[in-house]
Amino acid sequence: MPQRVEIVKKIMDSNDRLAQNNQAILDQHHVYGINLMASPGAGKTSVILETIKRLPAGIKLGVIEGDTAPVTIDADKIVAAGIPAVQINTGGDCHLDANMVGMALPELPLEELNLILVENVGNLICPAGFQLGTHANVLIASVPEGDDKPYKYPKIYRGLDVLIINKIDLTPYIDFRMDYFQQGVEMLNPGLTTFALSAKTGKGFDAWIAWLTDKVKAK
């Protein structure tokens, strides 16, 4: 068992070093990077597409799409919206890692960008353990998932810089206790920056776009 722990430690240390290299590349190009995580169906791609529509003209976005299978459905949607995108096929792995992101970065026109969104694999467990070299970890939770997720998946909530609560247009139809959900989040990550919005209606996006804009300008 001690040998297994040592092997895992070496893997994580190697990943962290690669993540530092990735962030150095982003910093060199004055690009702000975001690791966008969520469970399957929470609306990562929908949030990205609505974000694209609302970004100010001065923000130049690129997207890295992670998926477990060699399909380009999400990447094709991003490209169709006029945004450069790179697809990563993890070969079945349940998360992206720093090495995968490092190989994808040169495929984007970094000199023309100032913001990159990395759409991680849909999962609330594995992505929490791997740094990618981005500047912020953002989780998209959604109303249909239920209000118990902070209690069931505490690790991913502890490591967040921003929480997006998506699909708030469904709150009249789903038994989702917002106060109970937010209480769980607050216990794990006090004062976490949170945006409640709907990718379907656009409600709540102004605050999210303002936050993004401030981060990019500060870079």
What does the pLDDT look like over 46-70, one tens digit per residue? Answer: 999 999 999 999 999 999 999 887 7
For residue range 125-180, what is the model confidence (pLDDT) as tens digits?
999 999 999 999 999 999 999 999 999 999 999 999 999 999 999 999 999 999 99
**In the chain, domain spans:** 2-218
CA 205 vs CA 50, 134, 166, 184: distances in Å = 8, 22, 10, 23
Beta bridge partners of 65: 87, 119
Single pTM value for the model: 0.93
CATH H superfamily, domain 2-218: P-loop containing nucleotide triphosphate hydrolases (3.40.50.300)
Cα of 219 vs its chain's centroid, Å: 18
Amino acid 68: pLDDT: 83
What CA dihedral angle connects 10, 91, 46 and 176, to 10 degrees?
-70
The least confident of 9-18, 136-145, 208-217 is 9-18
